Chain A
Amino acid sequence: MSAIHNPLFTIHHSLLTPAMPNTKLFEITESPLSQDDILRRVSRADCGGVVTFAGTVRGTTATGDGERGTDFLDYEAYIPMAEKMMARIGDEVMERWPQVKAVSILHRIGRCEIEEPTVLIAVATPHRGDGCFEACRYAIERLKAVVPIWKKENWADGEVWVEGPRQPELIVSGE
């Protein structure tokens, strides 16, 4: 499993077998996300339970001045670090829920329209009671806390980069 996280291996692999489905488990991509695709990435014969989470673009957002209509979102990521942090969340999940056999996290960047998925998470376990629901919830909470990705809200009359809830243990700037 560690081999597919090696970027050299990934390039090599994609050159040799361009027709193969993408097997990267932790990926930042500009392409639209697909539930079928992430299900295939975690599918295993020894797992009968897969929980998926999709984060999608809401058409409204709460602001200090009340609710505003969103036109679309733009996402940016520090791609190599984001993929590394998502893989680390996968490791944390496996440590906390030893029955979890596979985790995949995909996040889209670039322009995302209302209702489109921006993040997909899938967790596979042998049975539904083996922690797949809890592990999936854990993964999205961790992603929102530590993975270096940012969204820009675009409205009819402006745009603003959104800052997420501050993680005190990560703050370096003087307060």
Chain B
Amino acid sequence: MDVRLRLFAGLRQVAGYKEKVVNLPEGAVVADLLGELPQSIVGRTFYIAINEEYARRDSALKDGDLVALLPPVSGG
């Protein structure tokens, strides 16, 4: 299955891209996706949202999901 990975703010800057498609085996969860992330963002702290809802490491992924990598928020 393919999921769309989208990066925001400092994570986008460090990774050098805004969005890419990641291929994962059927039944993959968020933790499986973490292994596919670029080396440049390993060690950084982030949250993940699947289709605009916060997710956990064991949240299930499905084909076509929009997975957002979110640095700790700093609005206000």
Contact = CB atoms under 8 A, between A and B. Distances in A.
B28 interface: no
B75 A172 contact: no
A171 B45 contact: yes
B61 interface: no
Contacts of B75: 75, 77, 82, 107, 118-119, 143-144, 147-151, 164
B44 to A, nearest CB: 6
Interface residues of A, number: 37
A161 B9 contact: yes
Nearest to A77: B75
Contacts of A166: 45, 72
Given A81-B68, A172-B55, A150 B74 contact: yes
Chain A contact surface mostly: mixed
Contacts, number: 94
Contacts of B55: 172
A10 B18 CA distance: 28
Contacts of A76: 8-9
A163 B76 contact: no
A171 B70 CA distance: 10
Q: Which of A82, A165, A172, A174 has the most CB of B within 10 A?
A: A172
A145 B9 CA distance: 16
A172 B37 CA distance: 13
Interface of B: 8-10, 13, 30, 34, 44-49, 52-57, 68, 70-76
Ranked nearest first, the 9 interchain pairs of A and B with the lowest CB-CB distance are A149-B75, A161-B10, A150-B9, A164-B74, A81-B52, A162-B74, A170-B47, A144-B76, A172-B48
